[in-house]
Structure 1
């Protein structure tokens, strides 16, 4: 690899040393600056002069950035350090991902999962089925979905590090954010870029709904971002949610549909999971039976069927699966406390509806909701409208700004808080608001009887709830 060829491939220009050959010094690893060693290539959205000095001292083979600032160009020229400046950092990260797969994992079978809701659980379940079957498999999914973007080269780093440490991979299971951006700017075609870089045999699209307001502002824009994914999957099989009207509109060359409502498709749920009209997983063997999680199971089972995994192996994997953190997780028995990462309108409605089904006579439901901080008024408006739609008059609602547990990137602004208050007030819904999450949880727990149900929902503002409850229960 010659540095000029690398720059040309990502529409970049070189500052500093443009004459050396990367194959003399390149480790083959694309990574982050803090984690880098001599011979790595670093990709950063921005870099300053101090960062260039650090990279040069480390002996980095090259550094790619979209935003050089505060003396970065001058430092690269002075140190004769190879700095590549590109217009779109996602092109660099897509290139890094494709190069890493081609060179570190050329023989793996690759699966990509995207959609608005359920992609983390679906990815993790596919990973578990394959891992449980004894295959060497890697996924980028974690409980907070931190590694599913082209903002940085994290997925490339994960792959190269795993192969170097543990040998060749059989499968890559990669979760892809359906919409992504940086500092309010949309990375257009993010999902299709990442999918294309992986050359997947199987792709999964869970659903299409609203999230990431500001990067996209209508369901049509979300659809446009996901529309190109089946084309990026190419000759692979695309697993599609038949029950989602927008998903049905996607143009896939090799579609495989599943459904919760239609038994005319190959894979469906009817008090158990059926494939080709044969029961393959009994209802009592499912790790969870709430509707939106059964949808995730169907997506994962459909993917594994199309990977050629034996049905008995799939059955064993599903039966032994343990959910990711904050996916309808039970934190306590009396009162029953359920914690879920519901953070957008569809997630909120699904989770509250499923929790309501658990209520018995004389049980009360307490919902503690963390307002989404620093995500804008519009997504919080949609979230509170979803609450209004599904809460009944007997539900006790508590809100938290979680000032005690969030950083500046997740701080709830006065405008975000106000839109919650205004819409709840206009719909005559009673609620209590707490600045701090620990106070909110303490109050809810004190009010609930042993037979009641407490539901915790929200994204980053509710993430620390489980650890806080250890000092409250």
Structure 2
């Protein structure tokens, strides 16, 4: 690789040293600055002069950035250090992913998973089925959801490190955000760009719904972002949710549909999972019983069928699957405490509906919702409207701004809090609000009878709940 070839590939401009890369100079590894070693390439959204000095001292091959700050260009010129500036950092990360797969995992079969809800569970289940069948698999979905975005070269780094440490991969299972952005700006065609970089044999699209308000402002914009993904999958198989009207509209060369309602699909649920009319997984063997998690199972099973995995291995993988953190996870028995990462309208409605099914007799349901901080009024308005739609007079609602556990990137603004209060008041829905999550959890636990159910929902503002509860229960 030559530096001008790299720059041209990502629409970049070279500063500092423009006569670099002899082939031996680049290790083939894209990574982050703090992890970089001699000959690596670093991709960062921004870099300053100090960062250039660090990179030069480490003998890094090159830095790619979108935002040079505080003397970065001048320092690169002074040190004769190669710096590439691109208008779209996502081009660099897609290039890094494509290069890494070609160099480190050229023979793996690659799977991409996108959609608004269920990506992580679907990806993790596909990974588990393949892993339990004895294959060497890499996935960027993890229990803490730290690596399931592709806005930096972390996934490229992890792939190269995994292959270097443990040998060739059989499968890559990569979760791709259906909508992605940086500092409030949409990275247009992110899902398509990253899917194309992987050259997948199988792609999964779980559903299309509203989230990421501000990056996109209508369901049509979400559809536009997802609609190009089947073209990126190309001649591969695209696993599609037949029950989602927008997903059904997508044009794919080789679609494979599953359904919860339509038994004419190749794969469907009817008190068990059926494939071509035959029962392949009994209902009692499913790790989840709630509808939205059964949908994730169908997506994962559909993907594995089209990878040619033996049905018995798929069955065993599903039966032995254990959920990711905060996916309808049980944290306590008496009272029953359920924790779920429901953070957008569809997730909130589905999770509360499933929890209501668990309520029997004199049991009370207490819903504790963390308001989404620093995500804008619009998404919080949609979330509170979803709450209003599914709550009933027998459900106790508690809200938390979680000031005690979030950083400034997730702080609930006065306007975000106000839209929650206003819509609940307009609909005569009673609620209790707490500034701090620990106070909210203490109050709810103190009020709940041992036979009651407490449901915790929300994104970053509810993430620390499990650890806080250890000191409360």
Shorter-chain TM-score range? over 0.9
- Residue 321 of structure 2 corresponds to which residue in structure 1? 321
- CA shift for structure 1 position 22: 4.8
Distance 1:255 1:32 in 2: 37
Root-mean-square deviation over aligned CA pairs: 0.7
Corresponding residue of 2:344: 344
SS of match in other structure, 1:173: strand
Q: Residue deviations 1:46-94, cap 9 Å, x none?
A: 1111111111111110000011111000000000000000110000000
Distance 2:412 2:161 in 1: 37
Tell me the distance in 2 between the aligned counterparts of 1:66 and 1:22.
Answer: 25
State the partner residue of 2:2. Answer: 2
In the other structure, the counterpart of 2:304 is 304
Q: Which residue of structure 2 lines up, in the alignment, with residue 362 of structure 1?
A: 362
- The residue number in structure 2 matching 1:255 is 255
Report the Cα distance in structure 1 between the residues aligned to 2:248 and 2:297, rounded to whole angstroms.
Answer: 19
SS across alignment from 1:208: coil
For the residue of structure 2 that corresponds to 1:23, the secondary structure is: coil
Give me the whole-angstrom Cα distance separating, in 1, the residues matched to 2:463 and 2:119.
18
The residue that corresponds to 1:396 in the other structure is 396
SS at match of 2:24: helix
Secondary structure of 1:246 counterpart = helix
- 5 Å matches for 1:99-118? 99-118=99-118
- 1:320 CA displacement: 0.2
2:123/2:175 contact within 8 Å kept: yes
Would the aligned equivalents of 2:21 and 2:61 in 1 still touch at CA under 8 Å? no
Deviation at 1:149? 2.7
SS in 1 for 2:188: coil
For residues 13-28 of structure 1, the aligned pairs below 5 Å read 13-28=13-28
State the partner residue of 1:450.
450
- Partner residue, 2:291: 291
Q: Please, which runs of 5 or more residues in structure 2 have no aligned partner?
A: none
SS, match of residue 19 in structure 1: coil
User: Residue 22 of structure 1 contacts residue 61 of structure 1 at CA under 8 Å; is this kept in 2?
Assistant: no
Residues 356-435 of structure 1: matches in 2 within 5 Å?
356-435=356-435
Alignment partners' CA distance in 1, 2:230 and 2:172: 18
Q: Any stretches of 5+ residues in structure 1 without a counterpart?
A: none
Consecutive aligned runs of 4 or more in structure 1 exceeding 6 Å deviation: none
| Residue 162 of structure 2: aligned partner | 162
Please give the TM-score of this superposition, normalised by the length of structure 2.
0.99
**Shift in Å, 1:144:** 4.2
**TM, length-normalised to structure 1:** 0.99
Q: For residues 93 and 461 of structure 1, what CA distance do their matches in structure 2 show? A: 29
1:43 aligns with 43
* Separation in structure 1 between the aligned mates of residue 26 and residue 133 of structure 2, nearest angstrom: 35
Q: Structure 2 CA distance, aligned partners of 1:418 and 1:166? A: 52
Aligned pairs, number = 473
Answer whether contact 1:112 1:204 (CA < 8 A) is retained. yes
CA distance in 2, matches of 1:258, 1:155: 29
Whether the aligned pair in 1 keeps the contact of 2:257 and 2:267 (CA below 8 Å) is: yes
Whole-angstrom CA distance in 2 between matches of 1:205 and 1:122: 10
- Bigger mean CA offset, 14-23 vs 164-173: 14-23
Partners of 2:147 and 2:377 lie apart in 1 by 25
The whole-number CA distance in structure 1 between the counterparts of 2:472 and 2:149 is 36
What's the offset of the Cα at 1:154?
1.1
Partner of 1:139: 139
8 Å Cα contact 1:3-1:22 kept in structure 2: no
- 3-state DSSP of counterpart to 2:23: helix
1:179-227 superposed Cα distances (whole Å, 9 cap, x missing partner)? 0000111000000000000000000000000000000000000000000
Q: What is the CA–CA distance in structure 1 between the aligned matches of 2:179 and 2:270, rounded to whole Å?
A: 32
Q: Counterpart in 2 of 1:32?
A: 32
What CA distance in whole angstroms lies between the structure 2 residues aligned with 1:164 and 1:337?
42
Q: Distance in 2 between matches of 1:379 and 1:437?
A: 20
In structure 2, the partner of 1:214 is 214
Partner of 2:76: 76
Q: Distance in 2 between matches of 1:459 and 1:36?
A: 31
